[in-house]
Amino acid sequence: MNSDGSLSPVPNSPYTSATDNYIVTNGSNVYTVNSGGTELEVYSIKASDGSLALANTTNAIAGNTSFSGDIVGGLSLDHTGASLYIGEIDSSGDDGQNVWSVGNSPSATQVQWDGGSEVFGPPLVWSPNNLYAYSGNCYHAAWTLFSYTRASNGTLTSPNFLTGGPPVLTQGDMPCPLAFAVSAKGFLAVAYSPTPQGGQVMIGTYALNNDGTLTPISGSQVTTASNSGANGGNAPVAINFDPTGTYLAAAGNGGIQTFTLGSTGLLSPVSSPIDAATNFQNVAWDKSNHVFATTTNQLYVWNFAKGTLTPATGSPYGGGTGLAVLPLQ
């Protein structure tokens, strides 16, 4: 990354890999999954130039005691980068979190299988204090949020199901949570489809309480420019806060747009969506006011200043759906 937002390829990039779309990094290693969804691949990062080398592969389903054709459905690292959480799911929906101890070395050790029933959703997002993780789903068209408590060794307690719908729910709606993001200011944002049939994607916020529970922020819901398909399918949406927790980027098939988060948890649109004809898949920030978003075959980069996104020189670049950005948030 150059200061003006332009990118330069690291040595030997692009790399040949049978990778899936899930990519996370703790600064020492990049973790991804093979295209079959069963093998964890660990690439070491060369600190001097950012280049990668495949350093380890292991069975991502190891330790999964409810294995019946499970595959990986998401990856997440806690804030320290010491623990890797692999969401796993099978065709019947039974699933759970596979917890691995990772760190600076390319080794990965399975330490816990936390199985559950229908608790699969987007990759876990983490509270600022690293004690709680959140996700959710709309199993049987019912709004569900759940949290895990993280111990100091990275293991999880079984999920605590959190009651209630989005901050504002119209009678007769059956919304589907699609994406999650946590602000450093102590709020959880949830992007959701208003009905199982799809529609204009909304975002609402919750306050994170000290015990890991959530308090909905009344009136916080805002409408995005993107639409979801039935049950959130075929039209992904991604949301992510900047490292300060002040700005939220939302990206989907309506382009990318930004919102400010007020001190009471209310969201306000900053500007109109840009690249509105682009179908974005993922979005991320760095700590130097750059915003990144991917499509299925391109990587977009913008410079960000007071809510305004300006395309960086050379953007868009060739790329793919998966996206992991350093410095870590």
Enter the tokens of residue 199: 């529609």
The pLDDT tens digits of the residues spanning 105-162 come to 999 999 999 886 667 788 999 999 999 999 988 766 677 888 999 999 999 997 787 7
End residue of a domain, out of 116, 143, 176? 116
Are 160 and 97 within one domain?
A: no
Query: Looking at the predicted structure, is the pLDDT value of residue 93 above 70?
Result: no
CATH code for the domain of 294? 2.130.10.10
Are 269 and 282 within one domain?
A: yes
Residues 314, 245: Cα–Cα separation, whole Å: 28
Are 245 and 125 within one domain?
A: yes
Query: Looking at the predicted structure, is the pLDDT value of residue 33 above 70?
Result: yes
What are the strands of the beta sheet with 83-89, ordered from one edge? Answer: 71-77, 83-89, 95-101, 109-116
End residue of a domain, out of 63, 88, 116? 116
The pLDDT tens digits of the residues spanning 155-193 come to 999 778 776 666 655 545 567 888 999 999 999 999 988
Are 125 and 112 within one domain?
A: no
Are 87 and 201 within one domain?
A: no
pLDDT score at 235: 61
End residue of a domain, out of 77, 94, 116? 116
Are 247 and 157 within one domain?
A: yes
Are 312 and 209 within one domain?
A: yes
pTM (2 decimals)? Answer: 0.93
To 5 degrees, how large is the angle CA 281–CA 286–CA 290?
80
Give the closest residue to 156 by CA, choosing from 197, 107, 111, 194. Answer: 111
Are 277 and 306 within one domain?
A: yes
